[in-house]
C-alpha cells in the first residue's frame, strides 16, 4: 500500500554561490510570517528553517508536528490564516466521526491536515527519520526552502502550571492557556542531537535569525537541543532576533502571559534579556523604540523596524531589513 | 489524548429467554443485507454475526477491516448503498491530500470511515483486542446486534493469480478482480483462535446461517479459523446457507468468476458442493429452483425463496424464512 517514496535530499546546497545562506530558528505562526517574507525575497534553498518540535503531539498513534506543519503549509501557500494552524478550507469530518466513536477531540485535526500526520507517521514507522520525512513532504508540496526539524525524536514540552503538569498542547489547546505557568520541562531533549542538516546549516549561515516566536515554548526547545546553542554561539554568522513582543503584548499566543507569570518584564527588553549572550542584533518594533537604549546596554545592537507582518510587503520589508544587517 | 473508553461487553447475553439465538457467518455487502433483515425482525442481541477479517488491510499504519465495517455501518444505518462500502455521504479530502503527498491511494478511505480505522488502531495499540474494539464501536454507534470478528489477528487472504500473489484488497480494488485466480492462502490463520465470544455464540445458537457471501474469500477464512468449522459441525443448531449465486451470477463481487476459474460449477449447486457436510439446509433463489433436486442429492434440505434482498421487506422476508426453518 505504501512503497518507499523517492529518496530525498535533506538540507541546503551550500555550494551554490548565488547569495547569503540564512538560518531561521522558528516556532509557528509568527515565524511563518517572517519565513514567508524571506521566501518572497527569493531566498529559496539558501534559507534553512530550523523548526521547534517541542510542540509535537502523539494522538491516535499519529505523530503530529504543529510548528513544522505551520511553516511547511505557509511556504506551500496552503496555510489557514484565520485559524493560525492547519490548511485553508479544511473540514473536520474525520474528527467529528472520531467524536461519535467516543474519542477526545479537543485537538483540531482537519481532514487534509490529517493526511500529513498519517503520511508522516507511516514513513516514520517504515524507518525514515523526521528530517527525511519533512524534506519529502516539502518536495511533494513544492516547498523549495529547506525546512528542518530541530531534532528527530518525540520530545514534548511539558508546562508546569498551578493546574498540574500539562503537555504543551493540553495547555495551549485544551486549557486555552488558562492555568498559571510555573516552568517548563523539555522532555527527552538531553538524549537528542540536532536533526540531519541542522548543524551544517548553522555552520554555513551568514545570518541566523531567531524568529518572532515564543522564547519559552518555541525557541527555548530549539536552543536546548544539545549542540544547537553552541553551534549558534560559535557560528561566524550574525545572530539576530526579532521581538515577539510588540507594545507589551504578544501578537499571538501566550508569550506575554508567560513572561509575566515567570517574573520577566513583559516587553521586548524582557525577551532580549532571555537571549543575552547569543545575539548580535535585536530587532524591535517601532512602537518599542524607547526600549532601545536599555537593550543596547545588554550588549547588542538594536534595529527598529515595523515588525508586524500583516501584509506580504511588510513580511518582505522585514526580511530585507534582516538581510541588510550584514 | 485518548483515555481508555468504558469497558465493553463482548458477545450476547444468552441467558435472555426471549427468542432463538442466531449466528450469522458473514462477509460484506450480501451478508449485511441479510443481517439487516434479522435486525429489522427484532433479533437485537439474540443475533451474533461472526465476520470475516481475511479481507483486512494494513495501510498507513492503520488496521482496516472492510467486512467488519460494512456489517457495523449497515446495522448503524450509516452504510453507503451506492458504493457498497464505507459511509453514506462520505468525502475523500484526506485521501486526496495523501495523494498530493505521494501516497498510493487506490484503496478508498472516506474521511468519516477513516475515523473508524484510526480509532480501532489506536485502541489496538493500547492493548485492546479486536473483539473488544468492535464491541465498543458498535456500542458507540448504537448497534445492538453482537458483531464479532472471526479472530483477532491480522491474517490477510492472499490471492494466487496469473499476475502473481496479491493481497485480497489489491486483487479486489487495485486490480478490479482482473487477474485469473488460481487459489487462495489464508495467511497466519493456523495460529489464530476464534475471537472472544465466537465459540460461545456458536455453541448457544439454534440456527447458524452462512450468509450469501463469497465462499472463498468471505466464508472460507471464517471456517478456516482453527475451531470454527468444528464448532459449527458439532453445534446442535440447524445450519443453513443462502446461495450467493443467483441465476448463475453473483449479485456483487467476483464469486462467479472465482467459481469458474477454479473449475467449480458457476451455480448455486457449485456453492452447495463447497459447503457439503456442514449444512442441514441450502436456501436457493426462486430462479434456481430447478437445481433443487441436484442439491438435495448432496444431503441437504433445499428451501426456495426470493434471496435478492433489494428492499427492506425482502430482507425481512428472507430473515423470517430462515427463522421459521426450526
pTM of the entire structure? 0.93
Quick one: average pLDDT of B144-150?
Answer: 97
Residue A143: its pLDDT value, please? 97
**pLDDT in the model for residue A7:** 62
Whole-complex ipTM: 0.92
- With b meaning 16 or more CB within 10 Å and e meaning fewer, what string describes B256-292? bbbbbbeebbbbbbbbbebbeeebebbbbbeebeebb
CB of A102 less than 8 A from some CB of B: yes
Interface residue of B1, B106, B168 to substitute, partner A, most A CBs within 10 Å: B1
For the four alpha carbons of A176, A182, A185 and A186, in that order, the dihedral sign comes to positive
Q: In Å, how far is B303's CA from the nearest CA of chain A?
A: 40
Q: Do the Cβ atoms of A44 and A19 come closer than 8 Å?
A: no
Greater model confidence, B280 or A20:
B280
Q: Show the CA angle centred on residue B21, arms to residues B18 and B26, nearest 5°.
A: 140
Q: Does B105 touch chain A (CB under 8 A)?
A: no
CB contacts of A121 in chain B (<8 Å) are: 60-61
User: Mutate which of B80, B101, B138 to disrupt the A interface (most A C-beta within 10 Å)?
Assistant: B101
**B134 interfaces chain A, CB cutoff of 8 Å:** no
B96 to chain A, any CB pair closer than 8 A? The answer is yes
For residue A246, what is the enclosing H or E element?
strand A245-246
Residue contact A118–B93, C-beta within 8 A: no
Chain A residues touching residue B100 (CB < 8 angstroms): 115, 140-141
Contact call for A101 and B3, based on CB within 8 A: no
pLDDT in tens, B40-75: 999 999 999 999 999 999 999 999 999 999 999 999
- Take residue B192 and report the three cell numbers written for it: 489464530
pLDDT classification of B252: cutoffs 50, 70, 90: confident
Per the CB < 8 Å rule, is A98 touching B121?
no
- Chain A residues whose CB is inside 8 A of the B111 CB are 91, 93-94, 97, 111
Res. B15: pLDDT tops 50? no
Interchain contact, B1 vs A141, CB within 8 Å:
no
Residues of A in contact with B2 (CB under 8 A): 59-60, 103-104
Query: Average pLDDT in the B226-252 region?
Result: 94
Per-residue model confidence (pLDDT) at position A238: 97
Angle at B124 between CA B122 and CA B125, to 5 degrees: 65
Q: Measured between CA atoms, how close is A2 to chain B, in angstroms?
A: 6
Strand ranges across the sheet with A164-167: A164-167, A157-161, A181-186
A61–chain B Cβ distance below 8 A for any pair: yes
CB contact under 8 A, B125 and A61: yes
CB spacing of B140 vs A91 below 8 angstroms:
no
Q: Does A163 touch chain B (CB under 8 A)?
A: no
Give the model's pLDDT for residue A82: 86
Checking if the pLDDT of A14 tops 60, the result is no
pLDDT of A88 reads: 96
Minimal CA separation from B73 to chain A, in Å: 12
Which of A56, A76, A93 to mutate to test binding with chain B, by most B CBs within 10 Å of its CB?
A: A93
Mean pLDDT of A116-139: 97
pLDDT band at A15 (very low <50, low <70, confident <90, very high): very low
The stretch B116-140 carries a mean pLDDT of 97
* pLDDT at residue B16 in the model: 47
> At A10, is the pLDDT very low, low, confident or very high (cuts 50, 70, 90)?
confident
Across residues A63-82, what is the average pLDDT?
96
Which chain B residue is nearest to residue A113, measuring alpha carbons?
A: B94
Give residue A16's pLDDT.
47
- Strand runs (DSSP E) across B7-145, as ranges? 22-26, 47-51, 57-59, 62-64
Please report the pLDDT score of residue B59 as a whole number: 95
pLDDT at A149 exceeding the cut of 70: yes
Chain B residue with minimum CA distance to A92: B111
Of the candidates A102, A107, A115, the beta carbon closest to that of B94 is on: A115
Tell me the average pLDDT across A102-108: 95
Using N-to-C axis directions, what is the helix angle for A93-101 and A111-125, rounded to 10°?
80
A51/chain B closest Cα distance in angstroms: 20
The count of CB pairs under 8 A between chains A and B is: 128
% of chain B exceeding 70 in pLDDT = 95
A154 touches chain B (CB under 8 A): no
Long-range contacts of B38-43 (CB under 8 A, 24+ apart): B38/B145, B38/B319, B38/B322, B38/B323, B39/B75, B39/B144, B39/B145, B40/B312, B40/B315, B40/B316, B40/B319, B41/B316, B41/B319, B41/B320, B41/B323, B43/B19, B43/B145, B43/B319
% of chain A beyond a pLDDT of 90:
90
Query: How many other C-beta atoms can be found within 10 angstroms of the C-beta atom of residue A29?
Result: 23
**Is B7 near chain A, with CB under 8 Å?**
no
Amino acid at each position: 500500500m505504501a512503497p518507499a517514496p523517492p529518496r530525498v535530499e535533506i538540507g541546503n546546497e551550500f555550494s551554490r554561490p548565488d547569495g547569503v545562506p540564512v538560518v531561521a530558528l522558528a516556532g509557528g505562526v509568527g515565524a511563518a510570517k517572517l519565513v514567508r517574507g524571506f521566501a518572497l525575497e527569493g531566498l529559496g534553498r539558501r534559507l534553512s528553517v530550523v523548526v521547534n518540535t517541542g510542540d509535537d503531539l502523539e494522538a491516535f498513534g499519529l505523530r503530529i508536528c504543529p510548528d513544522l506543519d505551520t511553516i511547511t503549509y505557509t511556504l506551500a501557500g496552503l496555510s489557514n490564516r484565520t485559524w493560525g494552524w492547519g490548511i485553508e478550507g479544511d473540514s473536520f469530518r474525520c474528527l467529528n466521526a472520531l467524536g461519535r466513536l467516543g474519542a477526545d477531540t479537543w485537538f483540531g485535526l482537519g481532514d487534509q491536515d490529517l493526511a500529513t500526520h498519517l503520511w508522516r507517521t507511516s514513513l516514520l514507522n517504515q524507518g525514515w527519520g523526521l528530517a527525511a520525512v519533512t524534506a519529502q513532504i516539502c518536495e511533494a508540496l513544492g516547498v523549495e526552502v529547506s525546512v528542518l526539524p530541530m531534532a528527530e525524536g518525540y520530545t514534548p514540552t511539558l508546562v508546569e502550571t498551578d493546574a498540574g503538569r500539562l503537555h504543551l498542547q493540553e495547555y495551549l489547546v485544551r486549557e486555552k492557556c488558562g492555568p498559571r505557568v510555573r516552568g517548563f520541562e523539555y522532555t527527552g531533549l538531553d538524549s537528542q542531537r540536532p536533526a540531519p542538516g541542522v548543524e551544517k546549516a548553522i555552520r554555513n549561515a551568514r545570518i541566523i535569525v531567531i524568529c518572532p516566536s515564543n522564547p519559552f515554548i518555541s525557541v527555548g526547545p530549539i536552543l536546548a537541543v544539545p549542540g544547537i546553542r553552541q553551534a549558534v554561539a560559535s557560528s561566524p554568522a550574525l545572530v539576530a532576533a526579532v521581538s515577539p513582543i510588540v507594545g507589551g503584548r504578544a501578537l499571538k499566543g501566550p508569550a506575554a502571559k508567560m513572561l509575566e507569570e515567570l517574573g520577566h518584564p513583559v516587553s521586548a527588553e524582557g525577551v532580549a534579556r532571555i537571549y543575552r549572550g547569543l545575539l548580535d542584533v535585536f530587532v524591535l518594533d517601532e512602537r518599542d523604540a524607547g526600549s532601545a537604549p536599555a537593550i543596547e546596554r545588554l550588549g547588542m545592537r538594536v534595529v527598529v523596524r515595523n515588525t508586524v507582518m500583516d501584509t506580504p510587503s511588510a513580511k518582505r520589508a522585514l526580511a530585507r531589513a534582516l538581510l541588510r544587517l550584514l
